[in-house]
């Protein structure tokens, strides 16, 4: 009698086919992007499951264009250098001064950004940028463009980052490369 044989061919066995037709399967071999066996959900052009986007130009970008695009962290603040020389920041604390090196390039001039808006004195020599207050300041905690750099060379990032609060105490800052 074959009615007592399971899908694995075992007499009186308990193996059954899953929704995908696989004996003792887990329904994953025919699952769509939403995890539904034999479902019809597909990823759209942006990689969103069951999304509706058909034009990859509308998918947006993970490119960092503003300091507020930098990661949120309860303990760490970030700097990021854009291809056009903008140094973006996201700071947990007020900034009283900073120093960093631009890797792979020389800095011809440092100006503008929130450092310029708040009256910070800016200096650039070779690959090093320095910003400090002779009174005034600090730059309030938050995010934005710290300073605009005119650079020569192929800048690959920032290193030697030192950032202080208004009293000269060290703040924890890291360079964020992006995705």
Would you state the pLDDT for residue 20? 86
Would you state the pLDDT for residue 58? 67
Instruction: State the alpha helices, DSSP H only, in 61-154.
Output: 113-117
CB contact set of 7 (below 8 Å; sequence gap of 6+):
15, 16, 17, 23, 24
Would you state the pLDDT for residue 81? 96
pTM (2 decimals)? 0.66
Walk along the chain (179 residues) in steps of 10 and give the mean pLDDT of each run: 81 90 86 83 78 72 83 94 95 97 97 96 96 90 97 95 94 89
Local structure of residue 45 (DSSP, 8 states) = T
Q: Cα separation of 30 and 38, whole Å?
A: 5
Q: Cα separation of 18 and 1, whole Å?
A: 23
Token pair recorded at residue 28: 């994953």
Would you state the pLDDT for residue 60? 58
The counts of H helices and E strands in the chain are: 1, 8
Report yes or no: 102 and 146 within 8 Å, Cβ to Cβ: no
């Amino acid at each position: 009698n074959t009615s007592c044989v399971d899908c694995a061919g075992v007499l009186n066995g308990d193996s059954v086919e899953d929704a995908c037709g696989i004996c003792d399967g887990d329904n994953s071999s025919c699952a769509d992007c939403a995890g539904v066996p034999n479902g019809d959900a597909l990823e759209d052009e942006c990689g969103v499951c069951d999304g509706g986007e058909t034009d990859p130009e509308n998918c947006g970008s993970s490119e960092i264009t503003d300091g507020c695009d930098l990661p949120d962290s309860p303990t760490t603040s970030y700097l990021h250098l854009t291809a056009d020389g903008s140094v973006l920041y996201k700071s947990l604390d007020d900034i009283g001064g900073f120093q960093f090196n631009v890797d792979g390039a020389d800095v011809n001039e440092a100006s503008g950004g929130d450092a310029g808006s708040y009256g910070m004195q800016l200096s650039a020599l070779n690959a090093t940028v320095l910003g400090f207050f002779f009174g005034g300041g600090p730059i309030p905690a938050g995010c934005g463009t710290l300073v605009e750099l005119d650079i020569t060379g192929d800048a690959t990032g920032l290193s030697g980052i030192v950032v202080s609060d208004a009293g000269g105490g060290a703040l924890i800052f890291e360079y964020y490369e992006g995705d």
